[in-house]
Amino acid sequence: MDTRIKRLYAFMEERSLDAMMITQPKLIYYFTGFYTEPHERFLALVLPKGEEPFLFVPMLDLEKAEMASNCKKIYSFKDSEDPFEVLKSKLPSVIRRVGLQEGYVNVKRYHALMKAIGAEQSVDLEEQLTEMRVIKSAEEIVTIKRAIVCIENALHATLPKVKVGVTEFEIVAELEYQTKLLGADGPSFDTLVLSGEKTAMPHGVSGTRKIKKGELLLIDAGVFVDGYASDLTRTFAVGDVDEKLKVMYETVLQANLQMIQAARPGVTYASLDLAARNFIAKKGYGEYFITRAGHGFGLEIHEYPSIHENNYDLLPEGSVFTAEPGIYMPGIGGVRIEDDVLVTKDGTEVLTSFPKELTIIGS
């Protein structure tokens, strides 16, 4: 049996559960190798106590599940059937305690499921699942690296086409086109291209604004490759820019480097955030660093941990995170420089390699 599945059964025994159900599509992929987006339909990896796990899928996904999954047992249901009644028939007769991803089951579905299977109590699995996913396997890291190479190569191919007068939307379209040519599953989040004063919005929205000379251009993009994400941000100068913007850029660059340098197994996530935050504050930009310093990623673009000054959990070897300090000055502009970082035995390995010095484009 797969090591990951064995850990679930061990947890089931530890918590005296009669069954467990994984219902988040990305986590089903993590445990079985099968991914689908079920939309409104019910989908689960079910682990009954003392029995083999099985996949429970909509009928329209059955063939795909049989081809991709490592599960020996797969059951399906038709759109005309009540999925919970069908599920009940596949489970042991007595289920008192069931483990669920409570964050991924809405209230209506929760009540319908609990009633159908006759469970008296549910136990949330999120803490256990989060702990399992923080440390990446060697295979996961290889796939993440492929996702990073994809977005970096796509950005290299896109930048020569950035000219004064081109719109943010046009850059988004070109970048996503290049990622598809390079084999990406798709973007890992909405590709963000912001120009001029819009760069001061950490989560702004790309639009029809045309690129102008003498301003900053911020590109935040990532892709999924074989289910795993990359996340990269670089800020560029469109032609020569004001000295104040250059100083802002250099401040963020040094904060990025100091954050990465502070990372090693056993330090707190808070210490990473503060390494960047304190440097930015010392340079007089403290009030303009309004975001956390980074986050974990993997099967999802945002995974545990959230790297902020109040997270005192410790970095484990084998985890990955983004280092993305920024300065955001309304009406003027903003700078963010984001790298993907692996925590190694002795420190870190920066997985992103796209140049970080301020680069002039569009001329």
Question: What is the DSSP code string of 56-98?
Answer: EEEGGGHHHHHHH---SEEEEE-TTS-HHHHHHHHS-S--SEE
Give residue-wise pLDDT tens across range 155-168: 999 999 999 999 99
Alpha carbon distance 207, 192 (integer Å): 10
Distance of CA 342 to the CA centre of its chain: 14
Give residue-wise pLDDT tens across range 302-316: 999 999 999 999 999
Structural contact between residues 105 and 124, judged by C-beta atoms closer than 8 angstroms: no
Tell me the pLDDT of the chain (363 aa) as tens digits. Answer: 589 999 999 999 999 999 999 999 999 999 999 999 999 999 999 999 999 999 999 999 999 999 999 999 999 999 999 999 999 999 988 899 999 999 889 999 999 999 999 999 999 999 999 999 999 999 999 999 999 999 999 999 999 999 999 999 999 999 999 999 999 999 999 999 999 999 999 989 999 999 999 999 999 999 999 999 999 999 999 999 999 999 999 999 999 999 999 999 999 999 999 999 999 999 999 999 999 999 999 999 999 999 999 999 999 999 999 999 999 999 999 999 999 999 999 999 999 999 999 999 987
Q: Smallest Cα–Cα separation from 65: which of 46, 84, 86, 82?
A: 46
Alpha carbon distance 350, 340 (integer Å): 6
Q: E strand or H helix at 145, and its extent?
A: helix 138-158
Per-residue CA distances from 55 to 41, 70, 76 (Å) = 14, 10, 8
260 token code pair: 């990465």
pLDDT of residue 1: 53
Residue whose tokens read 């290049």: 178
Structural contact between residues 85 and 109, judged by C-beta atoms closer than 8 angstroms: no
- Domains parsed from the chain with CATH numbers: 3-133 (3.40.350.10), 135-361 (3.90.230.10)
Per-residue CA distances from 58 to 27, 115, 236 (Å) = 17, 20, 47
Rounded (10°) angle between helices 126-134 and 3-14 = 150
> Helices (H) and strands (E) in the chain — how many of each?
10, 20
* CA angle centred on 178, ends 177 and 183, rounded to 5°: 100
pLDDT of residue 93: 80
The residues, any chain, with a CB within 8 Å of residue 210's CB and separated by 6 or more, are 164, 165, 166, 167, 195
Single-letter residue type at 202: P
Question: What is the DSSP code string of 262-326?
Answer: H--TTSBHHHHHHHHHHHHHHTT-GGG--S-SEEE-SSSSSEEEEE-TT--PBPPTT-EEEE--E
Alpha carbon distance 88, 229 (integer Å): 35
The residues, any chain, with a CB within 8 Å of residue 207's CB and separated by 6 or more, are 167, 168, 169
**Residue 344 CB coordination number (10 Å):** 13
Structural contact between residues 338 and 346, judged by C-beta atoms closer than 8 angstroms: no
Longest CA–CA separation in the chain, Å: 72
Per-residue CA distances from 204 to 192, 199, 330 (Å) = 8, 8, 12
Per-residue CA distances from 41 to 9, 56, 335 (Å) = 26, 11, 42
